[in-house]
């Protein structure tokens, strides 16, 4: 397979613990859908349904899929401020140099945000149970009258 950016032959390599096809020239990498999910799962433990939609909207690029040579499409990864390309035929995703680290950073932040939201919801539910408890309502009625 050839790099969609510079045309160099891609080589099998390991990045962030995941097997990818790496361009030795521009350091971009080609990942299958399973490899991208494996990368995300390195730091995100809540399951795929909590990650959000991967691609919302995309535009055609001049780069070609290393497998089928059809034009790649560019999108904002899970609506974050990271753009990457993908093959509309489902062959994979093109990440530029070191964007695997950015994916890990974004997934780690997303997991942290979910944990924070879950903690806040849990505390709010406890507060509501306390407010609805008979003891609290009786004290409130006693104060009011």
Higher pLDDT, 44 or 69: 69
**Residue-number span of the structural domain to which 114 is assigned:** 11-118
Tally Cβ neighbours within 10 Å of residue 1: 15
Q: What is the pTM of this model?
A: 0.74
Give, in degrees to the nearest 5, the angle at Cα 93 between 42 and 40: 10
User: What is the number of domains present in the chain?
Assistant: 1
Question: Across residues 58-76, what is the average pLDDT?
Answer: 96
39 is a domain residue: yes
65 is a domain residue: yes
31 is a domain residue: yes
Whether residue 137 is predicted with pLDDT greater than 80 in this model: the reply is no
């Amino acid at each position: 397979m050839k790099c969609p950016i510079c045309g160099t032959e891609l080589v099998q390599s390991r990045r962030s613990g995941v097997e990818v096809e790496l361009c030795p020239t521009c350091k971009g990498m080609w990942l299958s859908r399973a490899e991208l999910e494996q990368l995300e799962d390195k730091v995100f433990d809540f399951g795929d349904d909590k990650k959000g939609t991967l691609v919302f909207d995309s535009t055609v690029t001049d780069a070609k899929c290393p497998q089928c040579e059809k034009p790649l499409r560019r999108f904002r990864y899970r609506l974050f401020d990271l753009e990457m390309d993908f093959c509309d035929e489902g062959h994979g995703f093109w990440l530029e140099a070191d964007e695997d680290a950015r994916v890990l950073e974004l997934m780690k932040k997303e997991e942290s945000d979910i944990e924070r939201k879950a903690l806040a919801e849990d505390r709010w539910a406890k507060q509501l149970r306390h407010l609805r408890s008979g003891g609290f309502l009786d004290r409130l009625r006693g104060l009011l009258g």
